[in-house]
Amino acid sequence: KFELYPLEFQREVIHENLVVPSPYGGTIAITRNPRKFVKIQGSTKPIVSLYFSSGKLFSKFTWNSGQLVDLGWSHQEELLCVQDDGKILLYDLFGVYQRSFDMGNEAKNTKVIDCKFFTTVSGTGIAVLTSTNAIFLVNNISEPKVRQLPEIPKLGGPIDSWVVIRHERQSQVIVSNQNGIYQVHHMGKTPAPIPFSALFNSKVSNVRAMAVSASHQHIALLGDTGHLWLGSSDLKNKYTEVQTSLTDPSTSISWCGVEAVVCIFNSTLLIAGRSGDTIVYSYDSPLHLISEVDGVRIISGSSHEMIQKVPNVVQRIFRINSTDPASYLLEASRQFQKRSHKADSYIDLVKDKLDSAIKDCVNAASHEFNPDTQKLLMRAAKFGKGFSKTINPERYVTMCRILRVLNAVRHPAIGIPLTFTQLDMLTPQVLLDRLVVRRHYYLSIQIAKHLQMPEVDGESRILAHWACYKVKQTVLDKEQIAEEIAAKLGYAPGVSYSDIAQKAADCGRKQLAIKLIDYEPRAQLQVPLLLKLGVEQAALDKAVESGNTDLVYTVILYFQKNMSLANFEMSIKHCPLAMSLYVKYCQSHNREALLDIYVMHDDFHAQALWYIKESYNPKNIQTREALLKNAQEKLKMGRFDMNAALTEEQVKLLKHQRSLEDTLREQIVGKSVHDTVKLLLLQNEIKLAENLRSEYKIPDRRYWWLRIQCLAEKGLWSDLEKFSKGKKSPIGYEPFIDECLKYGSRLEAKKYLPRVKDELKIKYFAKMGCVI
């Protein structure tokens, strides 16, 4: 038992006040106890005061909400305030409201009378007890999901005491009333009660207090007759039963590590060990307990103390007449400091176990709160290192760093009395988080550097938190804040200026947010935030500068969705890349908008191409002529006379095709001139084909090819021969042979062999198989 800090809490630590310390050397919340009637002077609204563990007041706020039931702390050091209507409000260490959630309508209607806070693998949990003996439980306040536990039979009367036991996958509640003790699970039914006679050797009518260890492996039960039962949390193994004579209903109990239980009543403190031994201490003021993983902290009106089992390694070293090697090494170091020759004698005693003695001295130093004792033990370890050839100095160096950190955070100005065991479970990362929450930025950075933490997890992350705090200071000019943040952070790894700018925007400092975004090197983080802040043109400029087309598309689609058409077109008109990408997008997704762009730019050629492409869309077959006429007009306006003439011919062709369709009852519209003439020839409409040939000036060579192909395809060999003799063929007579062979008429092909050009005769004789 040793003092952590002297306190001046006589006015705060009284029976009428609720004192709720946070574990791991955390903050102490003090307010008026809502369960007790007290005489009030001044305002009737309770004040919630928040103190460091060293007793330094650093914030307070007036409670303006509903009827308060109890206070608690989350694993992130958020203050949890539970109201009788089942609503839980969360505040930060400076009394600033964060968020809230409720435990459901049934808890609201039946009123909460008690609550318990507990830790789970996923965070902090809370359970509430209503006036109807119903228990509602949330395993993680970050994602609250309310579960109701099976009801406790009301025949046993009101619940006298209860506690939550954390298991790997679920939480269990142990409840006591006059019938006995119930072990209630969320998924199961209400079990039969365990009678008190099955646990206690003496007669017990009810259990007035329960406590579970920090590891949730052990439980303590205090009966109404003062008998204290210690055992495993499943109630199957009993360690001991101690008669304490503490029969007052207000007695509270808490585990001291896993070896003992501390009981307090008014100003009396009793420690009962698992061996059955007891120790009693008396104080001058009321006491409040907070269980830790390796002990228990006691808050009284004059001091803040720690009770823990003396570690075995410390016992071995400092025991009277100890013969432990580490004890000899410590004495050798002392004699060396005195420049005495006895140091050699003591070193000789531990030469065989020198390495283990050095390790024990280092381990013992980690458990000490007194810096002088730490130095004494570490000096002994250093002295022993000089005589060892096999010891690894890394443990010694690491412990020197850790002790320096522990001593720094234990200073009254910081007020976090962590032990080495607690730091090991909490981790240095979480310690830095707690210092950052308290706004000890400089100390956090120095600790991160001293522990040689990666910059991303240490200094950079802390500076980012500092910057987020800095942007909330409205008294400073935005230019000054932005420059100061940029000077401190630079381009440190892991720092996102967009996150800081977002924080500034959330605080209503839009101009500061815009200024900070300029320092963000990643365009993919800049652009979305600029759009969110309503700085659309800057977002477009940043996206274009980045060269990332996906970002440009993001901005364009945002503009299209949130702007009028006129403003949208003006916004991207002067940005060639954005306009090009928008045109490309419209070509696939919005053809109508594409035409509007061409009209806006007076691009008649593009407009004409748009109409031509639309005319050949299967959906527009009925309006094809009108679309082509529009294309013709646009080409004339753009002075593309040749293209306009070609388009005009296409319109004429469509008219011809429609008239031919009515005559021939064949699908002709949409075919080319070549295919139309071929169809007419196959239909033996020679006159119509000749008319099309002359009107569209089909070359003789092409027309002859078509006549030959159609006659051969229909097998009209006599007509083919007659056609060959009518005029001299402009394409020669080789095609006649090719077409005849194509349709297997070798005899007809021989008729044209004499008329083949001399230079090709051998080739065609071979083709006909006439060469021997």
Instruction: Please check whether residues 352 and 432 belong to one and the same domain.
Output: no
Tell me the C-alpha distance between 739 and 491, whole Å: 78
Torsion of CA 346, 348, 354, 356, to 10 degrees: -60
Residue 321 confidence (pLDDT) above 50? yes
Q: What is the pLDDT of residue 601?
A: 66
Q: What is the pLDDT of residue 407?
A: 94
- State mean pLDDT over 706-721: 86
Q: Which residue has the higher pLDDT, 325 or 561?
A: 325
Q: How many Cβ atoms are within 10 Å of 357's Cβ, its own excluded?
A: 28
Instruction: Please check whether residues 652 and 693 belong to one and the same domain.
Output: no
- State mean pLDDT over 7-31: 82
pLDDT band at 648 (very low <50, low <70, confident <90, very high): confident
Instruction: State the distance between the two ends of the chain, measured CA to CA, in whole angstroms.
Output: 124
pLDDT in tens, 105-121: 999 999 999 999 998 88
Instruction: Please check whether residues 732 and 719 belong to one and the same domain.
Output: yes
Residue 250 corresponds to which amino acid?
Answer: S
Q: Which residue has the higher pLDDT, 726 or 128?
A: 128
Task: Name the least confident of 297-311, 612-626, 696-710.
Answer: 612-626
Instruction: Please check whether residues 686 and 608 belong to one and the same domain.
Output: no
Q: Which residue has the higher pLDDT, 249 or 94?
A: 94
Task: Name the least confident of 75-84, 308-317, 554-563.
Answer: 554-563
Closest CA to 123 of 140, 103, 148, 98: 140
- Asked if the structure places residue 560 within a domain, the reply is no
Domains of the chain: total: 4
- State mean pLDDT over 413-438: 91
- State mean pLDDT over 4-31: 83
pLDDT band at 39 (very low <50, low <70, confident <90, very high): low
Tell me the C-alpha distance between 764 and 772, whole Å: 13
Tell me the C-alpha distance between 377 and 394, whole Å: 16
- Asked if the structure places residue 726 within a domain, the reply is yes
- Asked if the structure places residue 596 within a domain, the reply is no
Q: What is the pLDDT of residue 621?
A: 62
- Asked if the structure places residue 590 within a domain, the reply is no
- State mean pLDDT over 275-301: 87
- Asked if the structure places residue 357 within a domain, the reply is yes
Instruction: Please check whether residues 680 and 745 belong to one and the same domain.
Output: yes
- % of the chain with per-residue pLDDT over 90: 24
Residue 465 confidence (pLDDT) above 90? no
Q: How many Cβ atoms are within 10 Å of 214's Cβ, its own excluded?
A: 21
- Asked if residue 617 lies in contact with residue 640, where contact means CB atoms within 8 angstroms, the answer is no
Q: What is the pLDDT of residue 772?
A: 45
Closest CA to 168 of 230, 220, 216: 216
- State mean pLDDT over 81-104: 92
- State mean pLDDT over 67-82: 92
- Asked if residue 121 lies in contact with residue 138, where contact means CB atoms within 8 angstroms, the answer is no
CB-based contacts of 651: which residues, under 8 Å, 6+ apart? Answer: 625, 628, 629, 632
pLDDT band at 618 (very low <50, low <70, confident <90, very high): low
pLDDT band at 245 (very low <50, low <70, confident <90, very high): confident
What secondary structure does DSSP assign to 589-645, as a single string? H-HHHHHHHHHHTT-HHHHHHHHHHHHTSGGGGGGHHHHHHHHHHHHHHTT-HHHHH
pTM over 0.95: no
Q: Which residue has the higher pLDDT, 464 or 590?
A: 464
CB-based contacts of 358: which residues, under 8 Å, 6+ apart? Answer: 326, 329, 381, 384, 385, 388, 391, 396
pLDDT band at 37 (very low <50, low <70, confident <90, very high): low
Task: Name the range with the highest mean pLDDT among 316-320, 387-391, 571-575, 667-671.
Answer: 316-320
Looking at 388, 408, 429, which one is the last position of a domain? 388
Q: What is the pLDDT of residue 421?
A: 92
Instruction: Please check whether residues 691 and 764 belong to one and the same domain.
Output: yes
Q: What is the pLDDT of residue 487?
A: 78
Task: Name the range with the highest mean pLDDT among 122-136, 155-169, 634-648.
Answer: 122-136
Tell me the C-alpha distance between 347 and 362, whole Å: 17
- Asked if the structure places residue 45 within a domain, the reply is no
pLDDT band at 498 (very low <50, low <70, confident <90, very high): confident
Tell me the C-alpha distance between 468 and 497, whole Å: 10
- Asked if residue 340 lies in contact with residue 347, where contact means CB atoms within 8 angstroms, the answer is no
Q: What is the pLDDT of residue 670?
A: 67
Strand order in the sheet with 180-185: 161-166, 171-177, 180-185
Phi, psi of 59 (to 5 degrees): -165, 160
Strand order in the sheet with 47-51: 17-21, 28-32, 47-51, 57-62
* Contacts of 723-728 spanning 24+ positions with Cβ under 8 A: 724/752, 724/755
Q: What is the pLDDT of residue 40?
A: 60
Looking at 441, 471, 501, which one is the last position of a domain? 471
- State mean pLDDT over 556-570: 76
pLDDT in tens, 358-409: 999 999 999 999 999 999 999 999 999 888 888 888 999 999 999 999 999 9
Instruction: Please check whether residues 404 and 336 belong to one and the same domain.
Output: no
Q: What is the pLDDT of residue 544?
A: 82
- Asked if the structure places residue 626 within a domain, the reply is yes
Q: What is the largest CA-CA distance in the chain?
A: 138
- Asked if the structure places residue 755 within a domain, the reply is yes
- Looking at the DSSP bridge assignments, the partners of residue 181 are 176, 194
Looking at 370, 388, 406, which one is the last position of a domain? 388
Instruction: Please check whether residues 401 and 441 belong to one and the same domain.
Output: yes
Instruction: Please check whether residues 655 and 699 belong to one and the same domain.
Output: no
pLDDT band at 594 (very low <50, low <70, confident <90, very high): low
Domain extent at residue 431: 392-471
pLDDT band at 129 (very low <50, low <70, confident <90, very high): very high
Instruction: Please check whether residues 653 and 724 belong to one and the same domain.
Output: no
